[in-house]
């Protein structure tokens, strides 16, 4: 009885706040079908290949015969040394991946979304060159997935707002 007295008003307030599920309707919903209708052209470089593959996976694109949108992405991938040890070697690196992207409506050539996404990772430079290269590669793969996630979320919000 006490639980109902507390939860009842809370549920009414939540219903009135305007929250809506992003992917209502599942794969046939407006946002999911909009995401699946996005074409992602090739992006330059290894980071571009990784980001494009992550985007295609997240968007559900690939089987769509006639895309309604195009997602143009330009990347800036930087690897810089940070910590200098007493023997003038680098002890720490920072890998930064930034993306500038635009979602273009193919019917009208109007830009629906024009935004940026970015993430960075710290890498310890160890005595094994192989281990350092592997850490740099792993950081790039993780950053690519993070960038794709940020882009997908922003694009999904824009498509939901257009509905």
| DSSP calls for 31-93 | HHHHHHTEE----SHHHHHHHHHHHHHHHT-SS-SS-SEEEEEEEEEEEEEEEE-TTS-EEEE
Question: How large a percentage of the chain has pLDDT more than 70?
Answer: 79
Q: What is the mean pLDDT of the chain?
A: 84
**Class of the CATH-defined domain 25-162:** alpha beta
Task: Locate the domains of the chain by residue range.
Answer: 25-162
Confidence of residue 24 (pLDDT cuts 50, 70, 90): low
In the 8-state DSSP scheme, what is residue 106? T
Q: Looking at residue 30, what is its pLDDT? A: 65
């Amino acid at each position: 009885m006490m639980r109902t007295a507390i939860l009842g008003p809370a549920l009414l307030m939540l219903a009135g706040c305007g929250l809506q599920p992003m992917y209502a309707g599942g794969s046939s919903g407006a946002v999911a079908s909009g995401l699946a209708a996005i074409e992602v052209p090739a992006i330059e470089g290894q980071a571009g290949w990784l980001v494009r593959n992550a985007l295609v996976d997240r968007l559900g694109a690939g089987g769509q015969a006639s895309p309604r949108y195009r997602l143009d992405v330009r990347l800036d991938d930087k690897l810089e040394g940070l910590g200098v040890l007493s023997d003038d070697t680098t002890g720490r690196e920072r890998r930064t991946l930034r993306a500038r992207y635009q979602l273009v409506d193919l019917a009208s050539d109007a830009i629906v979304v024009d935004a940026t996404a970015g993430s960075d990772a710290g890498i310890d430079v160890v005595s094994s060159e192989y281990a350092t290269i592997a850490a740099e590669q792993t950081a790039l793969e993780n950053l690519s997935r993070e960038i794709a996630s940020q882009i997908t979320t922003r694009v999904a919000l824009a498509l939901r707002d257009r509905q």
